[in-house]
Copies of this chain bind each other. A is one copy, B any other.
Amino acid sequence: MPDPILFPGSPLDRADHQRRDSAWIDELLQRDDTRFVALWRLRVLVVQGSEPCIAWATKVVCESMNRDVKEVLLGLWDGVAYFAVDISELKNPEEVLGATGVAKFEDVRAVAQRLPYEQAAIIAHARSRVDWHARHVYCPACGGKTTPRGGGANRVCQSCDAEHFPRTDPVAIAVVSLGDRCLLGRQRGWPARLYSALAGFIESGETLEEAVRREIAEESGIPIGEVRYLASQPWPFASSLMIGCRAEALDDKIKLDTFELEDAAFFERDRVRQALEGDTEGANLILPPPMAIANFLLRSWIAEE
């Protein structure tokens, strides 16, 4: 069984029942043991050192700041409440939080692999949620102002009362195999020799399997037979649900969509295995890191031989 992919495995109970009670949320915000993960322009505050971890703030730290922060209740864990706070307006956030020299705001994609597994999951949830709130200040239906409700579970329009819920965008991603070869592609601007599984957003009016067939055909021209679901992964850039599949190619005549991809090609299994095992020079191929579901899909293809 391949290593687990990153971002699942959050230990938090999202407290769906209780969070409807705003007095309860207010009480949690006042508790001494409540923990806050601070996000500054979508970067997360991380304690530096050989074993980095989330730098949890307490209400004391939050109260010391300009009080226009917005909290999102992420959930409960062993009786303790965990919130995300968006402090993007601060000028010198590390200084304001008293974290200079101890903790640093880091890019989530860069730091996630170095965090404890369950903390990466918490960060995925926090980043997606905070990002959604920041970009949904107005009602898309009427243009009115929206405000959060249910501890950040959703937003409500102050003008037309429409409720808006965070989006989660389903993405179909597939390793397409044809005997001992699999189809991979690369986008313009990626690091040299990096290839990955083809992927695309699932659109309205189609199933997962139809989306896989359409995306692969659009991007590579390859017709697809059987499609099989393998695993899913929350991907917090911005807020996708990656739905990982194996798909079977019916031929190998690539017709590239040069708008979407710079290149697509079939790769021999031995070459993929060599790259997965770290010999990217020998394989002349770089694959996505273990944190990505594309890596998982490739590892399970190799393992199934």
Which among A124-132, A174-182, A264-272 touches the partner chain? A124-132
Q: Is A109 an interface residue (CB 8 A)?
A: no
Q: Is A143 an interface residue (CB 8 A)?
A: yes
Q: Is A205 an interface residue (CB 8 A)?
A: yes
Q: Residues of B contacting A138 with CB < 8 Å?
A: 138-143
CA distance A304 to B295 in the complex (A): 33
B-facing residues in A158-197 (Cβ within 8 Å)? 162, 164-170
Whether B132 lies near A143 (C-beta < 8 A) is no
Q: List 22 A-B contacts (CB under 8 A).
A: A10-B205, A14-B203, A17-B257, A17-B259, A20-B259, A125-B204, A125-B205, A129-B205, A135-B141, A136-B140, A136-B141, A137-B140, A138-B138, A138-B139, A143-B145, A165-B169, A166-B204, A167-B167, A167-B169, A170-B202, A205-B236, A229-B229
Q: Is A207 an interface residue (CB 8 A)?
A: yes
Whether B140 lies near A202 (C-beta < 8 A) is no
Interface size in chain A (residues, C-beta < 8 A): 57
The answer, among B128, B136, B137, B209, for a CB contact under 8 Å with A205, is: B128
Q: Residues of B contacting A140 with CB < 8 Å?
A: 135-140, 146, 164
Query: Known interface pairs A138-B138, A143-B137, A167-B169. Does A10 touch B121 (Cβ–Cβ under 8 Å)?
Result: no
The 6 closest A-B pairs by CB, nearest first: A125-B205, A128-B204, A138-B143, A229-B229, A208-B232, A136-B140
Q: How far is the CB of A295 from chain B (nearest CB, A)?
A: 16
Whether B166 lies near A7 (C-beta < 8 A) is no
Whether B206 lies near A234 (C-beta < 8 A) is yes
Q: Is A201 an interface residue (CB 8 A)?
A: yes
How many copies the complex holds: the figure is 2
Scan A234-249; emit 1 where CB is below 8 A from any B CB, else 0: 1010010101000000
CA distance A241 to B209 in the complex (A): 12
The answer, among B129, B137, B206, for a CB contact under 8 Å with A204, is: B129
Q: How far is the CB of A204 from chain B (nearest CB, A)?
A: 3
Q: Is A106 an interface residue (CB 8 A)?
A: no
Q: Residues of B contacting A10 with CB < 8 Å?
A: 205-206, 210
Q: How far is the CB of A128 from chain B (nearest CB, A)?
A: 3
Q: Residues of B contacting A233 with CB < 8 Å?
A: 207
CA distance A296 to B185 in the complex (A): 35
Scan A140-156; emit 1 where CB is below 8 A from any B CB, else 0: 11110110000000000
Which chain B residue shows the least CB distance to A219?
Answer: B16
Query: Known interface pairs A137-B141, A143-B137. Does A7 touch B234 (Cβ–Cβ under 8 Å)?
Result: no
